[in-house]
């Protein structure tokens, strides 16, 4: 037996899977590149779309300025003179002037008019009379909500003055300081006492707070704080927490929310006489023919003691003693300190005098000026 040739070595069976794996790989390769291509296409579309949108937005905003929507254009504002002359609650004003969506432009404080002011009652001057000098008009107008005109415009006034609170409702001096000031002063000066004898503190706080709520007009937060205090045990955690909240809230109800204005302290008879005289003059002025001698004469007489351009804001905000003795008028000591050295006032005063206004260097790094170096030993 001859050895026959060796049977051909069996070709190793082609690995079963190899064909499939190749196919899979090819398929994966094809679909992989398809995915990559699709992804690239998508990115290209996104970039093109974003580029187009940005360009279109830029072109539109430059060449066709947007128009204020009708609902805002038709918005009625309450700041006309007639409204300012009437005594109205803030709820009434807000109902009439629905604020745009959100809290922007909402009316949160309202103007308390002074129907006994002889300069504004006859409609010679508006309730917010300043409109000429833009540097000061907002400040001067804001002050008419808690000062009578002559506190700034009296030509004979120099140094400190004796002042009183004049009730806006009657035009007569009121024998108590505004309730909110009394309350703030009490809270500031009696911290220890309130802690050791909450019941006594409670009695002293609730009365003026109720009065403040009445004077400031319907105010949901103040009303809520009053109810919380009235219905909790003096000294309890709820009571103390409410008191803390009240202490933080009260400063928001200063300035024009007294239904009273600071005025010079003159004898009651003298005040009434001067007011009667002024009413007669203003009535005569309104009735007289324009450009008549009589009118000019009355105008001159009415403004005899009037300083047309009151001087420095610093008379009340930068000198000690200034025109107003704040503590004697019921302000708490911390408020007196703040009002007597009000940087805003001295800044406005300098701007008014035409001096350049420099931004504060407070936020800049390091000292504003290089520190002077000490000579070595």
Of the residues 83, 120, 282, 336, which one makes contact with ligand HEC according to CB under 6 A: 120
Contact between 344 and ligand HEC per CB under 6 A: yes
> Shortest approach of ligand HEC to residue 356 CB, angstroms?
17
Residues 142 and 264: their CA atoms lie apart, in Å, by 19
The binding track of 238-277 with respect to ligand HEC, each residue x by CB under 6 A or -, is ----------------xx------x---------------
For ligand HEC, which stretch binds (CB under 6 A), given 49-57, 74-82, 104-112, 114-122?
114-122
Q: State the nearest-atom distance from the C-beta of 166 to ligand HEC, in Å.
A: 12
Residue 92 to residues 19, 78, 127, 214, 248, Cα–Cα distance (Å): 86, 10, 19, 15, 27
Q: Is 119 in the site for ligand HEC (CB under 6 A)?
A: yes
In sequence order, what are the beta bridge partners of 264? 163
- At its nearest, how many Å lie between ligand HEC and the CB of residue 69? 34
Q: Which CB sits closer to ligand HEC, 242 or 336?
A: 336
Encoded tokens for 326: 């704040």
Tokens of 276: 């009667």
Q: Binding of ligand HEC at residue 324 (CB under 6 A)?
A: yes
244/333 Cα distance (integer angstroms): 19
Min CB(266)–ligand HEC separation in Å: 16
Selected binder of ligand HEC within 111, 259, 313, 332 (CB under 6 A) = 313
Total residue length of the chain: 377
Single out the residue of 94, 339, 341, 350 in contact with ligand HEC (rule: CB under 6 A): 339
Considering only residues 73 through 102, tell me which ones interact with ligand HEC, judged by CB under 6 A. none
Strand partners of residue 163: 264
Task: Map tokens 């679909």 to a residue.
Answer: 31
Which residue number, 88 or 137, has a Cβ lying nearer to ligand HEC? 137
Q: Which of 85, 88, 125, 240 binds ligand HEC (CB under 6 A)?
A: 125
Alpha carbon 99 to chain centroid distance? 16
Q: How many positions of this chain bind ligand HEC (CB under 6 A)? A: 37
Tell me if 336 contacts ligand HEC by CB under 6 A. no
Stretch that binds ligand HEC, among 62-70, 166-174, 295-303, 343-351 (CB under 6 A): 343-351
**Which residues sit opposite 173 in a β-bridge?**
166
Give the nearer residue to ligand HEC in terms of CB position, either 202 or 323: 323
Half-sphere exposure of 80 (CA within 13 A, CB side): 7
- Pattern 131-170, binding to ligand HEC, x per CB under 6 A? xxx--x--xx--xx-xx-x-xxx-----------------
C-alpha dihedral (79, 82, 87, 91), degrees to nearest 10: -40
Biggest CA–CA distance in the chain, Å, is 159
Contacts of 182 (CB under 8 A, 6+ apart): 176, 208, 330
Q: Which residues contact 118 (CB under 8 A, 6 or more apart)?
A: 275, 278, 279, 282
Q: In the bound complex, which residue of the shown chain has the CB atom lying closest to ligand HEC?
A: 313
Tell me the CA distances in angstroms from 28 to 18, 31, 38, one per residue in order. Answer: 15, 5, 15
Q: Which stretch binds ligand HEC (CB under 6 A): 32-40, 63-71, 266-274, 308-316?
A: 308-316
- In the range 347-366, which residues lie near ligand HEC by CB under 6 A? 348
DSSP string, 103-121: STT---S-----TT-HHHH
**Interface with ligand HEC includes 342 (CB under 6 A)?**
yes
Q: In 54-71, which positions are buried (b, 16+ CB within 10 angstroms) versus exposed (e)?
A: eeeeeeeeeeeeeeeeee
Which is nearest to 313 in space by CA: 152, 107, 190? 152
* Residues near ligand HEC, by CB under 6 A: 117, 119-120, 125, 129-133, 136, 139-140, 143-144, 146-147, 149, 151-153, 254-255, 262, 309-310, 313, 315-317, 323-324, 338-339, 342, 344-345, 348
């Amino acid at each position: 037996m001859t050895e026959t040739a060796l049977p051909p070595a069996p070709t190793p069976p082609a690995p079963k899977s190899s064909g499939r794996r190749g196919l899979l790989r090819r398929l994966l390769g094809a679909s992989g590149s398809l995915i990559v291509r699709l992804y690239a296409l998508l990115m290209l579309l996104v970039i093109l779309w974003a580029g187009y949108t940005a360009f279109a937005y830029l072109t539109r905003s430059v060449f066709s300025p947007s128009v204020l929507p009708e609902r805002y254009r038709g918005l009625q504002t309450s700041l006309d003179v007639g409204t300012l002359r009437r005594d109205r609650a803030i709820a009434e004003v807000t109902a009439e002037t629905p604020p745009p969506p959100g809290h922007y432009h909402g009316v949160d404080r309202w103007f308390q008019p002074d129907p006994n002011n002889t300069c504004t009652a006859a409609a010679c001057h508006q309730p917010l009379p300043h409109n000429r000098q833009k540097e000061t008009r907002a400040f001067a107008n804001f002050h008419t909500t808690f000062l009578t005109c002559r506190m700034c415009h009296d030509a004979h006034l120099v140094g400190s003055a004796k002042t009183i609170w004049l009730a806006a409702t009657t035009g007569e001096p009121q024998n108590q300081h505004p309730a909110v000031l009394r309350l703030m002063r009490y809270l500031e000066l009696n911290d220890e006492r309130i802690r050791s004898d909450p019941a006594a503190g409670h009695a002293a706080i609730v009365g003026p707070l109720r009065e403040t709520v009445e004077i400031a007009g319907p105010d949901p937060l103040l009303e809520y704080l009053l109810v919380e205090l009235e219905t909790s045990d003096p000294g309890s955690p709820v009571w103390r927490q409410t008191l803390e909240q009240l202490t933080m809230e009260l400063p928001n109800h200063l300035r024009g929310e007294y239904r009273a204005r600071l005025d010079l302290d003159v004898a009651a008879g003298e005040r009434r006489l001067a007011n009667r005289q002024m009413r007669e003059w203003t009535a005569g002025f309104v009735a007289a023919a324009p450009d008549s001698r009589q009118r000019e004469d009355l105008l001159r007489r009415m403004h005899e003691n009037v300083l047309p351009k009151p001087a420095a804001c610093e008379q009340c905000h930068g000198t000690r003693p200034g025109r107003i003795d704040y503590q004697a008028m019921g302000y708490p000591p911390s408020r007196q300190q703040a009002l007597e050295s009000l940087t805003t006032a001295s800044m406005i005063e300098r701007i008014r005098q035409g001096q350049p206004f420099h931004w504060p260097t407070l936020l800049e790094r390091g000292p504003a000026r290089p520190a002077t170096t000490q000579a070595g030993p």
